[in-house]
Amino acid sequence: MNGRTLEQVEKLTPVARRLEGDTVIVTGAGFGIGRAAVERFAAEGANVVVNDIDPEVAAGVAAELSARYGDGCAIGFGGDVTAEGFNREMVDRAVATYGEIDAFVANAGVTRDAALSRVGRDDWNLTLALHLTAPMELAQAALHAWRTANDPYRRRRAVFTASVSALGNDGQSSYSTAKAGILGFMSTFAIECRQRYRLPHVNVNAIGYGPIVTRMTQEGKEDIQVGGETITMGLPEGSHERIEERTLLGRMAPPREAANGLYFLIGPDSAFFTGKILWMDGGTFKLLRS
Ligand SMILES: NC(=O)c1ccc[n+]([C@@H]2O[C@H](COP(=O)([O-])OP(=O)(O)OC[C@H]3O[C@@H](n4cnc5c(N)ncnc54)[C@H](O)[C@@H]3O)[C@@H](O)[C@H]2O)c1
């Protein structure tokens, strides 16, 4: 596993199993928010397709979920979501395995931050490919599956992981551009599902996270391997105190708490939400450094 170990995520006690019979794809579910989300979905009775760029990580998480919540409730589908044709193959595999795909969370992401004077074309294009093009292709593949499914009137859900950085953040021009773009895409996808494709029971929404403690935002820089490439993740020492000062709740959230928002948007209680952004940011009120 390239020296990487699986993230330690506590087993949950299923409460109501309100996702029984649903199949959910989560991209970037090897670590962080995605990892916590698949734990919650599986605990609530869903079948989950676990994607991560590292196939061994994806398979490891799926095996852990199957052991905890029911044999075969999870499959790993490792690989790079930006690879051509990948999202279609993932949706096809989900349908072949579980018969349906009810929902997806387009969550995979890394940041390639730099002040504007140092932003290179490659990093810019890779960021847009990962946070914009890949979610669009996943939505396209899911739409195809929903339109050709036995029951086009079944309730479906699409969720895109966005960020408060969509409104601008120092040093994140590529990331904030992509995260703002996904909000426009989300809205158009919601409209087209209803207007153009006559699928009235698709809930399409975005979740706009504030500071969640993951590898992306941990204090202290760390080189991580993503698809064989070394990327420096994390924030400089002292960052968390500054971040906490600009959230009304005065804290960052753990991935498990972030997954509650995704559970709401995937679960039954969000049936009357579509084309919306759920800001889950602890009351982030300014991104400028003080
Ligand atoms: N952590 C935060 O504060 C925060 C805030 C706002 C938005 N977000 C967004 O939440 C999402 C999850 O981030 P996180 O904080 O959990 O980070 P993370 O690094 O813990 O998790 C990201 C996951 O995506 C996977 N991944 C990266 N590139 C991939 C690719 N090309 N194909 C498949 N998988 C890939 C990684 O291996 C990892 O499992 C991202 O879209 C991120 O932009 C995070």
Q: What is the secondary structure of the chain as a DSSP string?
A: -TT------PPPPPSS-TTTT-EEEETT-SSHHHHHHHHHHHHTT-EEEE--SSHHHHHHHHHHHHHHH-TTSEEE--S-TTSTTHHHHHHHHHHHHHS---EEEE-------B-GGG--HHHHHHHHIIIIIHHHHHHHHHHHHHHTSS-TTS-EEEEEEEEGGGG--TTBHHHHHHHHHHHHHHHHHHHHHHHTS--TTEEEEEEEE--B-STTT-BS-EEEEETTEEEEESB-TTHHHHHHHTBTTSS-B-HHHHHHHHHHHHSGGGTT--SEEEEESSSB---S--
pLDDT per residue, tens digit, the chain (290 aa), is 555 688 899 998 877 899 999 999 999 999 999 999 999 999 999 999 999 999 999 999 999 999 999 999 999 999 999 999 999 999 999 999 999 999 999 999 999 999 999 999 999 999 999 999 999 999 999 999 999 998 888 999 999 999 999 999 999 999 999 999 999 999 999 999 999 999 989 999 999 999 999 998 999 888 888 878 888 888 889 999 999 998 999 999 999 999 999 999 999 999 999 999 999 999 997 655 54
pLDDT at res. 102: 98
Atom of ligand 1 nearest to the CA of 213: 1
Q: Whose C-alpha lies nearest to ligand 1, atom 42?
A: 109
Q: Whose C-alpha lies nearest to ligand 1, atom 32?
A: 80
Mutation test residue for ligand 1: of 26, 35, 107, the one with most atoms within 8 Å of CB: 107
Q: List the CATH number of the domain containing 72.
A: 3.40.50.720
The answer to whether residue 17 is domain-embedded is no
Tell whether pTM > 0.85.
yes
Active-site entry in 175, 197, 209, 263:
175
pLDDT at res. 233: 85
Q: Whose C-alpha lies nearest to ligand 1, atom 40?
A: 109
The answer to whether residue 6 is domain-embedded is no
Which structural domain range is residue 166 located in?
Answer: 23-217+253-280
Beta bridge partners, 277, equal 206
Q: How far is the CA of 195 from the centre of ligand 1 (A)?
A: 31
pLDDT at res. 195: 96
Q: How far is the CA of 32 from the centre of ligand 1 (A)?
A: 7
The answer to whether residue 242 is domain-embedded is no
Q: Rounded distance, CA 154 to CA 151, Å?
A: 6
The answer to whether residue 201 is domain-embedded is yes
pLDDT at res. 149: 94
Q: How far is the CA of 77 from the centre of ligand 1 (A)?
A: 16
Ligand 1 shell residues, CB under 6 Å = 27-28, 30-34, 51-53, 80-82, 107-110, 130, 161, 163, 209, 211-212, 214-217, 226-227
When divided into structural domains, the chain yields a total of 1
The answer to whether residue 207 is domain-embedded is yes
The answer to whether residue 2 is domain-embedded is no
The answer to whether residue 288 is domain-embedded is no
pLDDT at res. 290: 47
Instruction: Check the CA dihedral 42-47-50-51 and report its sign.
Output: negative
Residue 175 annotated as catalytic: yes
The answer to whether residue 142 is domain-embedded is yes
With tokens 């330690």, the residue in question is 8
As a whole number of Å, the CA-based R_g of the chain is 18
pLDDT at res. 226: 80
Q: How far is the CA of 194 from the centre of ligand 1 (A)?
A: 29
Atom of ligand 1 nearest to the CA of 175: 43
